[in-house]
Chain A
């Protein structure tokens, strides 16, 4: 394997406290080593450029049945948006729901090395893994959804943490999943009855359990198992005016719970796409709607066991897709565009609706502002991660644009003054106008690699350039000394990495993708004590309810996961 030495770049590595110093970064046998430990390396001249560990995405929808349904029912998303193959690259296409190849190439161009697929319906885990398998270059994992699962609802009604944990361990193994995702706890199941759970104490029909019990139980089971990642939550009433109170109620469920794991993870609850959960007011009208990002982030600042990602609205035409079935139904009645919906037997549901975040409307502008506020109010950027909930709030390719907005007050003012129709009204109803903070490159490195790696329990592999970690390094054509004059340079640089080394392989060379890498699928094998009751319950559910047998359910063998990277945890001690 070739050794690399990246010389003369401005290095940003918050884990090691390196803040723009000119430090040489060396890679030997696929791992980061001290610069003196490489002999005859291939030298990469990073003079005048920014060097960081490769990016780590904690939440994106890039593989699986609903992503593919989005591709299928939105052929217009690829209209005039395809690039013919060239060199080693095959044809790529799509804007908000790109092909698996474009997803991989996009991540590579943005200097990313790892992406977490944020919602895997267990029944369709096989499909999800087939897409992950076909996405080259990046390492990926997937979070199965648990928040409306019949086993979980039944066990948590009685607060049976051990049984819940045993079931989670079984399901992670069956689906080759990485951790616990919880979407609209109880609400999607209620949707099967034409209802929803709008508050944390609403009762799920038939199961007689509340979102509070589900969230609390999943967090406890997560820590019982000692999983690398914490419970990953999309709470109730996403996108509803006035929902910030429900968000605070959800966050407070984690109060007093301490992380238990061997991975250095410090949080027990990750609230995804916080932007959608920080709304005040009673309607979307500008006289009622208001931002409550400050209230929510202030609470998070006051505790130490919660992280979140932003979910910034990028003011684009995109495709919304979530396991929050009732929300998508609601959305389809707001914009009258096409709608797809499915019920995943015993487990979850899903909906898809195209959506245009039109900068000429008040609400889209306010959502844009709130997402950025969530990134600007954080005290410890190790706990706030940049996402667009891709593609829900904006396409994956817009990450660099979000960095620009976070890093430049001038760029934000430009949107408020020139892009948005109701910029002044949005300054009044949101906090964006009072925020002059500009995220530094050092903080950006926390929010896009060091932080998410830590919360995913992967800081021993990713997020830093410390010797021993994976040889994942991105070099961006951005000079922190001279390129500060124009915020557009931020967006360009972070979308066009000059170099990406992934697992010690040179993937991007002088801006061109030259290698498809050694893609791996990460999953967590959790060992639990034998639990005959849960085993019996599983057999019973397959016998009585599932339309498939367990033989056709399990994700197994090299066909689905040809390059597994298994993280072992053991709760039997």
Chain B
């Protein structure tokens, strides 16, 4: 597998928008060609070479290209946007939109990421060995198509509005999560291994949320159904099942109404 190593040489004064940093774009290019790829800082067009040293080269296709960013890119946005295959490793913190609209491949961030990661993603893996910001796996502003497939794993905590308009795929948060989880959710699974605050599953139509810890205030639109023993993400536990949001529309399957499901671990 061909490897491209990007090492940050300076921190952008504003923010660098670098949607070209994906295995898809870097495939088939040598170091000089990669350095010449454009990015944006504000309204000015810059090159990746202005902000990174580039070593190595892309493989023939995205699938045989690994991109490694060695250093802090907490002022670089859109890393791995729309990637479809291959691997991307960030050894440092990254800014917003990591893996936005990704369809395949694997991104590993060994650090923290900011908001809108995995936005509208339809496939692939996004692994965050650190904390995630707001709107993880959510939909773009105004859109009703949040995360639809693939998997997001955050070892630390996550911000607010995780999985808004989520329709498929899985989000696992190892730590705590802020307000508004799975708002308007219509499919997929969110697992929160720590505590949640308020507004979990508001206007949820379908899908499943597991919370291992506490929920500060339960949404009034959820009703307790029964207790159940489950294996979730390799952990065994005793859960209380709630269904909702009762204020939202719900489809029927074979005459049975399908609700959103919220499992709370005892």
Contacts and interface: CB of A to CB of B under 8 A. Distances in A.
A76 B249 contact: no
A79 B142 CA distance: 10
A522 to B, nearest CB: 34
**For B139, B140, B143, which residue has the most chain A Cβ atoms within 10 angstroms?**
B143
Contacts of A77: 142
A79 B144 contact: no
Contacts of B143: 76, 79
**For B140, B141, B142, B144, which residue has the most chain A Cβ atoms within 10 angstroms?**
B142
Interface of B: 139-144, 249
B142 A75 contact: yes
Contacts of B249: 336
A437 interface: no
Given A75-B140, A76-B141, 15 more contacts: A74-B142, A75-B141, A75-B142, A76-B139, A76-B140, A76-B142, A76-B143, A77-B142, A79-B140, A79-B143, A336-B249, A337-B144, A338-B142, A338-B144, A354-B144
Contacts of A337: 144
A74 B144 CA distance: 10
A73 interface: yes
A338 to B, nearest CB: 7
A76 B140 CA distance: 7
Interface of A: 73-77, 79, 336-338, 354
B245 to A, nearest CB: 14
Nearest to B251: A336
15 contacts: A73-B142, A74-B142, A75-B140, A75-B141, A75-B142, A76-B139, A76-B140, A76-B141, A77-B142, A79-B143, A336-B249, A337-B144, A338-B142, A338-B144, A354-B144
Contacts of A79: 140, 143
Contacts of A74: 142
Contacts of A76: 139-143
Contacts of A75: 140-142
B183 to A, nearest CB: 13
Nearest to B205: A336
A527 B186 CA distance: 58
A75 B141 CA distance: 6
Contacts, number: 18
A77 B142 CA distance: 9
A336 B251 CA distance: 12
In the A-B complex, the 8 residue pairs with the closest CB atoms: A76-B143, A75-B142, A76-B142, A75-B141, A76-B140, A74-B142, A79-B140, A337-B144
A335 to B, nearest CB: 10
A354 B139 CA distance: 15
A337 B249 CA distance: 12
A488 B109 CA distance: 45
A354 B143 CA distance: 10
A337 B143 CA distance: 9
Nearest to B144: A337
Contacts of B144: 337-338, 354
A67 to B, nearest CB: 16
Contacts of B140: 75-76, 79
Nearest to A91: B43
A354 B144 CA distance: 10
A79 B144 CA distance: 13
A79 B19 CA distance: 14
**For A73, A74, A79, A338, which residue has the most chain B Cβ atoms within 10 angstroms?**
A79
A337 B142 CA distance: 10
Nearest to B145: A76
Contacts of B139: 76
A76 B119 CA distance: 12
A321 to B, nearest CB: 15
A107 to B, nearest CB: 26
Nearest to A335: B144
A76 B141 CA distance: 7
A203 to B, nearest CB: 32
Contacts of B142: 73-77, 338
Nearest to A74: B142
A75 B142 CA distance: 6
Nearest to B248: A336
A79 B141 CA distance: 9
Nearest to B82: A80
A73 B139 CA distance: 14
B98 to A, nearest CB: 17
A336 B141 CA distance: 17
A12 to B, nearest CB: 42
A338 B141 CA distance: 12
A337 B184 CA distance: 11
A125 to B, nearest CB: 27
A338 B142 CA distance: 9
B173 to A, nearest CB: 25
A337 B139 CA distance: 13
B47 to A, nearest CB: 17
A363 to B, nearest CB: 19
A226 to B, nearest CB: 46
Contacts of A73: 142
B19 to A, nearest CB: 10
A287 B139 CA distance: 36
Contacts of B141: 75-76
B166 to A, nearest CB: 16
Nearest to A354: B144
A428 B140 CA distance: 40
A78 to B, nearest CB: 9
A141 B57 CA distance: 57
A73 B140 CA distance: 12
A337 B144 CA distance: 7
**For A74, A76, A354, which residue has the most chain B Cβ atoms within 10 angstroms?**
A76
Contacts of A338: 142, 144
Nearest to B40: A84
A430 B144 CA distance: 32
Contacts of A354: 144
A14 B235 CA distance: 76
A337 B165 CA distance: 11
A79 B249 CA distance: 28
Nearest to A77: B142
A80 to B, nearest CB: 9
Contacts of A336: 249
A76 to B, nearest CB: 4
A330 to B, nearest CB: 15
A481 to B, nearest CB: 42
A74 B141 CA distance: 8
A76 B139 CA distance: 10
